[in-house]
Amino acid sequence: MLKWALIFAIVAIVAGALGFGGIAGAAAGIAKLLFFIAVVAFLLFLALGVFAGRKLTGR
């Protein structure tokens, strides 16, 4: 998911440099959305891993 966020961020930068403001704004919005979804997924899986590890080790 971070890969796609980076791709959309690059598309936004290139489109902005070439003067395509609408496309740049849309691509930047998609990149932001994908980045925040990836961060939330990472934190969710991190919490699940910590709690599952505690359950397995008995701490």
> Could you give the percent of the chain with pLDDT greater than 90?
83
CA dihedral 9, 11, 16, 22 (to 10 degrees): -100
pTM summary value: 0.81
Q: How far apart are CA 13 and CA 31, in angstroms?
A: 11
Whole-number pLDDT of residue 59: 64
The mean predicted confidence, pLDDT, of the chain is 93
